[in-house]
Amino acid sequence: MNTLKMKSLHIARNLFTVVLFLQFAHVSAQGKSKTTVKTDESIRPFKVAVSDADLNDLRSRLKATKWLAKEHVSTETKY
């Protein structure tokens, strides 16, 4: 997955989390809500504006990342 798509997904997840939090906070502040809120769950395209400088910085950070060659934790200790 390319960098722009990854960044877009990250932003979308964060926005979704904020919306859920705000809805929960609204219901909690008023007690039980008797109104049902109908939300639009359709998937629609959206645009994200990211500067070339930010993308270049991200690319250079990814290139500089030292990834582990293999996993150093045994399966038994993971869980």
Which tens digit of pLDDT belongs to each residue from 53-65? 999 999 999 899 8
The per-residue pLDDT for 54 is 92
Q: Longest Cα pair distance anywhere in the chain, in angstroms?
A: 54
Q: Is residue 21 classed exposed, middle or buried when 0-12, 13-18 and 19+ CB atoms within 10 A define those classes?
A: exposed
Q: Are 58 and 51 in contact (CB under 8 A)?
A: no
Which tens digit of pLDDT belongs to each residue from 11-30? 888 777 877 677 766 555 55
Q: From CA 8, how far away is CA 29, in angstroms rounded? A: 32
Domain ranges of the chain: 1-30
Q: From CA 48, how far away is CA 51, in angstroms rounded? A: 10
Q: Are 48 and 11 in contact (CB under 8 A)?
A: yes
